[in-house]
Amino acid sequence: MIICDSLSLRGAASLSFLVTALAASPAAAQAQDQATARALFNEARGLMSQGKFDEACPKLEAASKLYAGSGVLLNLGDCYEHVGRTASAWNEFGEAASAAERAGRADDQTEAQKRQAALDSKLSKIVIRVAKAAPGLVIKRDGTALDSGAWGLAIPVDPGPHTVTAEGAGRLPWSTTVRITDPGKTVTVDVPDSAQGGGVARVVAPVPLAPPAPPPRSPVAAPPSEPPSPTLVETPQGGSTSYWTGRRIAGVVVSGVGVVGLGVGGIVGLVAKSKFSTAEGETGSLRANDSASAVSLGNAATGLVIGGAVVAAAGLVVWLTAPRAPVQVGANIGQVVLRGSF
């Protein structure tokens, strides 16, 4: 009775650590995304300092998808402005101002609003006017469908070629390409009615075709005879035994979960170390925030490592204490059957 109670307590402790490890997985994934975003950001900043903006912009785009902080968005807008993508830069400065406001970073918000306002007079815009709105009409700009509410509005676009298409039931497809090069210029594109340009598509009645000849029937093959059932012979006591009993499989699974916990703890520990290193080079509130974050991540990493080790050890105990099961071996013509009991 005392042995059963001890095993129950061990199982409860192992389950508790397992739940803790699984709950920490989303936080670890988020921390890993932020670490990746920081690495991309630092590399992009180095490229920008060398004037390689064409190479820096894609890295900042990737970083913003992992962590859309005001600093990342401000630098992305600056990179776009240097490569001449004024509309994209204007949009990213607006996103940076919103992110800074949510995070309470007044300096970043002011800088983003200032940069966005400076681009207002340099924006190139395109107006798409539709002569006749018909049900099912789809207008696309550069392959992206444009909502009907945006028809007739001056929309900021980056300089360069832009393709406008129109398609729908009862009309032939229509498209045109315009090139916008002058800063601050607005170009208007008029989509004609279906009777103009593309015209109305004609519906042609299909020509009836003769039904195809039925394929020749193939002879029906006789169903194969089922092989006789194999004869099973159980090995006597002291013979071969099966290692993969239900309890041993459970031990392997529990140990695997423990190893995963150790791995996640290691990753979180590396992120905490990186956060602490970053905090050492900062001052003020940034240093305090990064230091507190590094301590929290370090504590989480310690808990994960300890929990993973305990779970892995519990799985090993289950494996070592599991009894072996007898194996049944059967033979037939062209067949050998192995069967074990749990």
- pLDDT value of position 309: 81
Mean pLDDT of the chain: 76
pLDDT tens-digit readout, 140-195: 999 999 998 888 899 999 999 999 999 988 788 999 999 988 888 899 999 988 74
- Is pLDDT of 68 > 50? yes
Residue 69 pLDDT exceeds 70: yes
Q: What is the 3-state secondary structure (H, E, C) of the chain?
A: CHHHHHHHHHHHHHHHHHHHHHHHHHHHHHHHHHHHHHHHHHHHHHHHHCCCHHHHHHHHHHHHHHCCCHHHHHHHHHHHHHCCCHHHHHHHHHHHHHHHHHHCCHHHHHHHHHHHHHCHHHCEEEEEEECCCCCCCEEEECCEECCHHHCCCEEEECCEEEEEEEECCCCCCEEEEEEECCCCCEEEEEECCCCCCCCCCCCCCCCCCCCCCCCCCCCCCCCCCCCCCCEEEECCCCCCEECCCHHHHHHHHHHHHHHHHHHHHHHHHHHHHHHHHHHHCCCHHHHHHHHHHHHHHHHHHHHHHHHHHHHHHHHHHHHHHCCCEEEEEEEECCEEEEEECC
Residue 33 has a pLDDT of 82
Q: What is the pLDDT of residue 189?
A: 94
Q: Check whether 330 has a pLDDT greater than 90.
A: no
pLDDT confidence band for 312 (50 / 70 / 90): confident
- pLDDT tens digits, one per residue of 297-309: 778 878 877 887 8
18-37: average pLDDT: 66
78, 115 in Cβ contact below 8 A?
A: yes
Question: What pLDDT was estimated at residue 296?
Answer: 83
Whether residue 339 has pLDDT greater than 50: no
For residue 217, the model assigns a pLDDT of 64
- 315, pLDDT greater than 80: no
The CATH classification number of 25-122 equals 1.25.40.10
For residue 213, the model assigns a pLDDT of 62
pLDDT at 58: 95
Task: State the CATH class of domain 124-191.
Answer: mainly beta
Interval 75-100 mean pLDDT: 94
* CA 156/CA 76 separation, integer angstroms: 17
pTM (predicted TM-score)? 0.49
- Summarize the confidence of residues 50-65 as an average pLDDT: 94
pLDDT of residue 319: 62
pLDDT of 97 > 70? The answer is yes
In the prediction, which pLDDT does 240 show? 45
Q: What is the pLDDT of residues 233-281, one digit of tens each?
A: 444 444 445 566 777 787 778 778 878 877 887 887 788 788 778 777 7
